[in-house]
A and B are shown apart, each in its own frame.
Chain A
Amino acid sequence: MSTRAGDDEAADFEAFVRASGTQLYRTAYLLCGDHHLAEDLTQNTYAKVFARWRRIARADNPVGYARTTLINTYLSHRRLRRSAETPTDTSADARYPGRAAGPSDDELADRHDLIAALRMLGPLDRTVLVARFWEDRSVSETATDLGLSEAAVRQRSHRALARLRPHVHSLHEERTNP
């Protein structure tokens, strides 16, 4: 009986990961700027979710819970490991199987300008941008997720965008040559 319940639980969890894994992994990649760190972050997040899966599966929004867990884990991980963080080697990142499927060198360069620019931001500013512009969270939702005031989210978002713009070739081009 309990084995069957365990099997059902594992099957539910697997379905959940398959449905939400790609989006969560991409969020992790934007936060970490590195595929290997993103993979670690996503795995840690799902491991924590699995540990409480019986309760989380009953909740209204398991994906929201997983996203908040990911952000908390990221901010916590950043604090512990910030001294060890070094800029990602572009060539090493390009060898990652997830991206070996096709982008040309130009596409890779274009992509890396944005990812590299994101990495120049502070972790909280980066998290605000990712929540607002990748996750499409509203100012109010982002404020709730991060425990910030709405004014602080707007301010951080504005400041981060201003810092990002000069470093992102394609954004700059689009802005100057609409």
Chain B
Amino acid sequence: MNAANDDHRLTTALRDRLDDVHPDLDRLVAVATRQGARIRRRNRLAVWVGSVAGVAAVAAAVAVGSSWTGADPSGAPHRPGIANGPSSSPATSMPSPSAVTTAPRVRSHMAPPIETSPVSLDRPGWSCAPPADEKFTCSNGDHSVLITWRPAADRPSWGGDPDKTADFISDVHGDFFVTVDAIPGTPSSDAVLLAQALTWTKVRPAARSAKISVASSTDWGAGVSSRMDCPTASCAVHPYSRSAALFQ
């Protein structure tokens, strides 16, 4: 008797037991198509909300820039009695709207990878599986965590819904935030520590497989890739998080 025989027996036993198990494929197609279409609509809405928020941020930046120069687009003084600023005013060092909106777009004709995560983990002893369904697992052999990235527009609902819990819920970075969950058998503290070691990369929500290099991005501060540093526990750990107590 050897292990290979046992393995073969288990495979055979599983096949024997499932031989006559058949799903209702018609129903599967109908329900999956309907649910999938709903997910598409929701994603489109999230992208739209994100775009509107981005445009609003740019408009706000332009407004602030205009007020610093004291001039409106027509060239007339914005507020009578306030002098226009000199050419070396802070506004000249602000990223212009065109610098933000014309960030290089990657339009490759090659088939892109299916999904690119906006976060990655580089921690000795830990390795991560390829992402699928906007999530991926990382493990060190004994312990595993599940990392899920979500549209920034969904972040508010993760701030107060007891049904939407995670061991770690990040702040919004660009268009996404992540939740990190310890897979049963893994301490929650591992999930929190790993979450704090995640590295962020800018990924466009509309084409999640394409990375953008951003020279100056106002909502990223540190640039293309930044550590998800959180100076205080309250900014990253959800009140419903099982790990919140670790920081108290």
Contact = CB atoms under 8 A, between A and B. Distances in A.
Interface of A: 10, 13-14, 17-18, 21-22, 25-26, 29-30, 35, 39, 42-53, 55-56, 58-59, 65, 68-69, 72-73, 75-76, 78-80, 82, 97-99, 101-103, 110-111, 114-115, 122-124, 129, 132-134, 136, 144-149, 151-152, 155, 161, 164-165, 168, 170-171, 174-175, 178
B175 interface: no
B248 to A, nearest CB: 23
Nearest to B112: A55
Contacts of B43: 51
B142 A152 contact: yes
B146 A102 contact: no
15 contacts: A10-B33, A22-B22, A30-B14, A42-B28, A45-B133, A47-B34, A47-B39, A68-B132, A72-B135, A79-B146, A82-B184, A122-B185, A124-B184, A149-B139, A174-B9
A175 B129 CA distance: 35
Contacts of B185: 122, 124
Interface in B187-207: none
Given A14-B29, A43-B28, A152-B142, A25 B129 contact: no
Contacts, number: 187
Contacts of A178: 1, 5
B11 interface: yes
Contacts of B9: 171, 174-175
Interface string B156-193: 00000000010000000000000001111100000000
B114 A56 contact: yes
Interface of B: 1, 5-7, 9-11, 13-14, 17-18, 20-25, 28-29, 31-40, 43, 111-112, 114, 127-130, 132-133, 135-142, 144, 146, 148, 165, 181-185, 209
A175 B8 CA distance: 11
B90 to A, nearest CB: 43
B23 A98 contact: yes
B133 A73 contact: yes
Among all A-B residue pairs, the 9 with the closest Cβ atoms: A50-B36, A46-B32, A47-B35, A147-B129, A152-B141, A25-B23, A51-B39, A68-B132, A147-B137
B11 A133 contact: yes
Nearest to A162: B6
A72 B28 contact: no
Contacts of A30: 14, 18
Contacts of A164: 10
Contacts of B132: 65, 68-69, 72
A78 B18 CA distance: 22
B29 A171 contact: no
Contacts of A168: 13
A115 B21 CA distance: 13
Contacts of B17: 110-111, 114-115
Contact of B209 (A26, A55, A144): A55
